[in-house]
């Protein structure tokens, strides 16, 4: 998506060889008009899929997911990274590793919100090593739900996330694919 590439170049910042900071529009401050453009692109890409629910992992995948949920008129479920006093009912749970924060999370989803009747579109903000995506797929499989598609806003294509996810039999659609963050310069895949 050329508009996303332009936005990344204008508002993003390469922090070393493997971290891209996009908090000006996606991870800290959210640009709602641009989120709607991302959602429209995702809707168009997955228009032939039978989707009745969108899932994401808190927090940065929530904004594009909610806008897409609005366009598709389907609920959005986000997998929580921590439990609370009110999230104590029957849960699907799995562990994931955050590449950016270099920590493990246990993600959870109430069994009330995901089941075998669901055909889900998984949306996430970034794909690096694929751990978050594979963890989310694990929760979806625990619910016996069907993964209809995987949409990623920004893929760091120089890392092996896509290969890991595709090796499990899932196709990945990334709206922007970064080939390099070498010397602070953001380069996109052709």
The answer to the question of whether 27 is labelled as a binding residue is: yes
The C-alpha atoms of residue 150 and residue 115 are separated, in whole angstroms, by 18
The C-alpha atoms of residue 115 and residue 109 are separated, in whole angstroms, by 11
The answer to the question of whether 156 is labelled as a binding residue is: yes
The answer to the question of whether 52 is labelled as a binding residue is: no
The answer to the question of whether 174 is labelled as a binding residue is: no
The distance from CA 115 to its chain's CA centroid, rounded to whole angstroms, is 20
The answer to the question of whether 50 is labelled as a binding residue is: no
Helix segments in 73-155, DSSP class H: 131-142
The answer to the question of whether 85 is labelled as a binding residue is: no
The answer to the question of whether 144 is labelled as a binding residue is: no
The answer to the question of whether 61 is labelled as a binding residue is: no
DSSP letters along 26-83, please?
IISS--HHHHHHHHHHHHHHTTTS--SEEEEETTTTHHHHHHHHHHHT--EEEEBSS-
Tokens of 118: 């669901």
What residue numbers does the annotated binding site for xanthine cover? 20, 27, 156
What residue numbers does the annotated binding site cover? 20, 27, 128-132, 156
What residue numbers does the annotated binding site for 5-phospho-alpha-D-ribose 1-diphosphate cover? 128-132
């Amino acid at each position: 998506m050329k508009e996303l590439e332009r936005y990344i170049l204008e508002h993003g910042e390469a922090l070393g060889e493997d971290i891209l900071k996009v908090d000006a529009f996606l991870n800290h401050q959210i640009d709602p008009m641009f989120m709607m453009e991302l959602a429209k692109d995702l809707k168009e890409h997955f228009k032939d899929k039978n989707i009745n629910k969108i899932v994401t992992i808190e927090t940065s995948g929530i904004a594009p997911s909610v806008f897409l949920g609005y366009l598709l008129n389907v609920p959005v479920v986000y997998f929580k990274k921590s439990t609370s006093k009110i999230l104590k009912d029957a849960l699907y749970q799995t562990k994931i590793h955050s590449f950016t924060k270099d920590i493990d999370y246990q993600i959870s989803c109430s069994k009330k919100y995901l089941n075998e009747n669901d055909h889900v579109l998984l949306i996430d903000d970034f794909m690096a090593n694929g751990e978050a995506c594979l963890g989310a797929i694990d929760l979806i499989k625990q619910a016996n739900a069907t993964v209809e598609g995987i949409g990623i806003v920004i893929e760091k294509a120089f890392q092996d996330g896509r290969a890991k996810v595709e090796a499990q039999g899932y196709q990945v659609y990334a709206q922007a694919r970064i080939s390099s963050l070498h010397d602070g310069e953001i380069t996109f895949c052709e």
